[in-house]
A and B are shown apart, each in its own frame.
Chain A
């Protein structure tokens, strides 16, 4: 861990209300300090932007379905190949880069923390093996709980304490960080060839509704005091007219309180959930309706899931949705039912700019970013790789910062985008401070990491991104190409005080931490729960209960977040 002084940079640090001030940042032993001492290495960053290291809140970068996607698409790999260098390993893949390359590419964009958005509990071991192979960034994994038999059973019985105890055990066993819900109820219904098409559509056999699952787990989340809120991929993703379901979803956790300074519900890739119309011919944007709800809500936030108009690979634990998508495109498709847990799917998708639907989807993603007034409530993602690969972030930044660029793109793509969305009437352009919020500060705050990540105050991790953009001599609205170029490769990416990337080239390879949450619950309650699940484990699971949890030693660089939840059940 290094000591470093970053001199004279133009600093954007929204958490500490620093908006483009020229100042020095001192890092000692990997932590930001008042004074790093005279011996610390100095780098001059005059006329360059200095921001906290980027934080990725939602990206499918590791796990069973990511790997299934890699296997499914050799033609994606041939499109983008990185040869081995003295420091870095070789890699390939445009929409689904291989593990090592994922780390390098994030680091080149200035990201120092990234979360993998869906970890199937049964394949957690595999997910962590892949995460261990992603260098350069700190990581964490969201444990899927949407179709978990035990959770559904406890919630049906109204036994919220036992549900909390089980969820805590599951997060511990899978070394997960966040409760992730993907099409709650729908993935289990998919086992019967069905889906949950509304919040009140019961899951076959379990007779529980998506609404009850969401509300139950939001309560569990707050009982356990987890850093992040429930991370929800709402029902009816990608369906025509689904915005009504989404609007209803925001209301589900009403009345539940948190003692933390963050939202209680994170609705992810909202772009896929803001569709109007009842046929593909009158498909239209309902971003305004969603933005209205988010603007009013004081307990929910969204991330965008921006469509980047590329040939990409969709992958989600929402199996029925992938089936539906595949039935539209007739392309190759992977479906996978994971016993007692969930049902992911994978299929390629080409967001062709010449077609009306992808063009409108592109507009919706940007509309959401621009119509939600408070940038802390709308984070920038592409739901990598579902709406586009994360390597397109610089372009999305440029679109958000430049109305001119949006107009230029609108002229090139299918004219339906202008007609059936409100994008062309929006004047708003992000400034650098807002970009810093939607790419790092807001993400860190939403994750509950705002003490250590996403800012440059004393005591924060020494994670910094320096971009070669001279704010005095650039007008982002006009010079959008330079903005895109400037954010494409950092002048420096610094992690824990060490320079990892210099002028867009990797100069050092390190391995980041894997955060996992350990909510400690009352011993007696835990025993009861384990006794409850033992029988079903023996009867239905293909693995033994004793072999299910992953020991901490299995992870390369684990970082335990200990939370005292012993009051549960006491």
Chain B
């Protein structure tokens, strides 16, 4: 794999809209061409090179590219938006919408990711080693068809409304997360290894949510059975789980909520 390193120079006060930072667009371009890729600073059109030092090797195939953002970029938004192939590594914190609309490839955030990371994901892999903000793997505002495929792994904690309107794919949170995880879910899997205060799976009609820590189950969920070492998505989860169905506030709800005893 060929590495292209983006070293943040001076970061602006307002946000950078950096949806041009993705292997698909870097492929076949030499460093000077990459430097002149368009990037919006607030509402001003500017160039990638104004905010990042660019170095590395040119590659023709996106699959063959690893983009490394070498530092903290908390105000750089939409990094890797719509990525189809290749890899992006952010060696620090990143702004909103990291890995949104991803279709393939891999995005790794070594620090924290702000809200809307992995929004409307269709495929690929998003790994956040720190914490994630709100609306992780959620749908675009107003859309009733959210994340459809791919996997998201958060090693820290996540904010509220994880996986809103999820219709496929998998989200794993090693830490805790906020309320309303998997609201309106239709398909897919959310695993919360820590706690979530309440309302997980509100208005869900399908899919599964696993909570290993403490939580409060909505009264519109019905306890179905207890099961040891449940098998889910080709994986066995150890321990005894209380399985609920719901959310019966909706018609024909077939969602499943697994709570570790």
Q: Is the CB of B141 within 8 A of A331?
A: no
Q: Is the CB of A331 within 8 A of B144?
A: yes
Q: Is the CB of B144 within 8 A of A78?
A: no
What is the distance, in angstroms, from B221's C-beta to the closest C-beta of chain A?
Answer: 19
At the interface, yes or no: B52 with Cβ under 8 Å from chain A? no
What is the distance, in angstroms, from B120's C-beta to the closest C-beta of chain A?
Answer: 9
Contacts of B140 in A (CB 8 A): 74-75, 78
Please, how many angstroms separate the alpha-carbon atoms of A75 and B140 in the complex?
6
At the interface, yes or no: A73 with Cβ under 8 Å from chain B? yes
At the interface, yes or no: B234 with Cβ under 8 Å from chain A? no
At the interface, yes or no: A223 with Cβ under 8 Å from chain B? no
- Among residues of A, the one whose C-beta sits closest to the C-beta of B139 is A75
Please, how many angstroms separate the alpha-carbon atoms of A75 and B144 in the complex?
9
What is the distance, in angstroms, from A51's C-beta to the closest C-beta of chain B?
Answer: 38
At the interface, yes or no: A428 with Cβ under 8 Å from chain B? no
Contact code string B117-144 (vs A, CB < 8 Å = 1, else 0): 0000000000000000000000111111
* Chain B interface extent, by class: under 10
Please, how many angstroms separate the alpha-carbon atoms of A419 and B142 in the complex?
36
Contacts of B141 in A (CB 8 A): 74-75
Contacts of B251 in A (CB 8 A): 330
Contact code string B133-158 (vs A, CB < 8 Å = 1, else 0): 00000011111100000000000000
* Chain A interface extent, by class: under 10
Q: Is the CB of B142 within 8 A of A74?
A: yes
- Among residues of A, the one whose C-beta sits closest to the C-beta of B250 is A330
What is the distance, in angstroms, from A479's C-beta to the closest C-beta of chain B?
Answer: 34
- Interface of B: prevailing SS: loop
Contact code string A147-183 (vs B, CB < 8 Å = 1, else 0): 0000000000000000000000000000000000000
What is the distance, in angstroms, from A269's C-beta to the closest C-beta of chain B?
Answer: 25
Contact code string A67-84 (vs B, CB < 8 Å = 1, else 0): 000001111101000000
Please, how many angstroms separate the alpha-carbon atoms of A74 and B141 in the complex?
6
- Interface of A: prevailing SS: loop
- Among residues of A, the one whose C-beta sits closest to the C-beta of B251 is A330
Contacts of B142 in A (CB 8 A): 72-76, 332
What is the distance, in angstroms, from B168's C-beta to the closest C-beta of chain A?
Answer: 17
Please, how many angstroms separate the alpha-carbon atoms of A184 and B130 in the complex?
60
Contact code string B218-258 (vs A, CB < 8 Å = 1, else 0): 00000000000000000000000000000000010000000
- Among residues of A, the one whose C-beta sits closest to the C-beta of B205 is A330
Please, how many angstroms separate the alpha-carbon atoms of A78 and B142 in the complex?
10
Chain A, 329-370, CB within 8 A of any chain B CB: 330-332
Please, how many angstroms separate the alpha-carbon atoms of A330 and B139 in the complex?
17
Please, how many angstroms separate the alpha-carbon atoms of A320 and B116 in the complex?
36
Chain A, 386-429, CB within 8 A of any chain B CB: none
Contacts of B139 in A (CB 8 A): 75
Contacts of A331 in B (CB 8 A): 144
Contacts of A76 in B (CB 8 A): 142
Please, how many angstroms separate the alpha-carbon atoms of A330 and B165 in the complex?
13
- Among residues of B, the one whose C-beta sits closest to the C-beta of A73 is B142
Chain B, 141-192, CB within 8 A of any chain A CB: 141-144
What is the distance, in angstroms, from B161's C-beta to the closest C-beta of chain A?
Answer: 15
What is the distance, in angstroms, from B186's C-beta to the closest C-beta of chain A?
Answer: 11
Contacts of A74 in B (CB 8 A): 140-142
Please, how many angstroms separate the alpha-carbon atoms of A73 and B140 in the complex?
10
- Among residues of B, the one whose C-beta sits closest to the C-beta of A330 is B251
Please, how many angstroms separate the alpha-carbon atoms of A330 and B144 in the complex?
10
Please, how many angstroms separate the alpha-carbon atoms of A331 and B165 in the complex?
12
Please, how many angstroms separate the alpha-carbon atoms of A74 and B144 in the complex?
11
Max chain A Cβ within 10 angstroms of own Cβ: one of B140, B141, B142, B143: B142
What is the distance, in angstroms, from A81's C-beta to the closest C-beta of chain B?
Answer: 13
Contacts of A332 in B (CB 8 A): 142, 144
Please, how many angstroms separate the alpha-carbon atoms of A76 and B139 in the complex?
13
Contacts of A78 in B (CB 8 A): 140
Please, how many angstroms separate the alpha-carbon atoms of A78 and B139 in the complex?
12
- Among residues of A, the one whose C-beta sits closest to the C-beta of B145 is A75
Contact code string A513-549 (vs B, CB < 8 Å = 1, else 0): 0000000000000000000000000000000000000
What is the distance, in angstroms, from A439's C-beta to the closest C-beta of chain B?
Answer: 33
- Among residues of B, the one whose C-beta sits closest to the C-beta of A78 is B140
Contacts of A75 in B (CB 8 A): 139-143
Please, how many angstroms separate the alpha-carbon atoms of A281 and B142 in the complex?
31
Please, how many angstroms separate the alpha-carbon atoms of A331 and B141 in the complex?
14
Contacts of A330 in B (CB 8 A): 251
What is the distance, in angstroms, from B38's C-beta to the closest C-beta of chain A?
Answer: 12
Chain B, 46-68, CB within 8 A of any chain A CB: none
What are 16 A-B contacts defined by CB distance under 8 Å?
Answer: A72-B142, A73-B142, A74-B140, A74-B141, A74-B142, A75-B139, A75-B140, A75-B141, A75-B142, A75-B143, A76-B142, A78-B140, A330-B251, A331-B144, A332-B142, A332-B144
Closest 7 interchain pairs by CB?
A75-B143, A74-B142, A75-B142, A74-B141, A75-B140, A73-B142, A78-B140
Instruction: Identify the B interface with A (CB < 8 A).
Output: 139-144, 251
